[in-house]
Amino acid sequence: MLKTCSVVLLAIAMSIGAAQARHVIPACAVGQPTAWKCNCGSAAAPVLCRRGQWCHPSHVMAEGPFCGA
């Protein structure tokens, strides 16, 4: 019984992980124009750059990275 429950829990955890992986947005290359939507920041709240924008790091500690031309 314990083995069956373990297998079921593992299968559920794997399916949830696979579902979340589909929504992962790739990281931007800093200092390069983007060809698709990408994540410029590594903080909890992502900074999403659109196609053609550049990912700029911020040198101020209170500010995060930003997207621009």
Q: What one-character-per-residue DSSP string does 1-69 give? A: -HHHHHHHHHHHHHHHHHHHHTTPPPBPPBTSB-SS-EE---SSS--EEPTT-EEE--SSTTS--EEE-
Task: Specify the residue for token string 């992962």.
Answer: 24
pTM of the model: 0.52
Residues recorded for the chain:
69
Instruction: Output the pLDDT for position 56.
Output: 84
Residue type, 33: P
Instruction: Give pLDDT tens digits for 22-60.
Output: 567 888 888 888 888 888 876 667 788 999 898 887 766
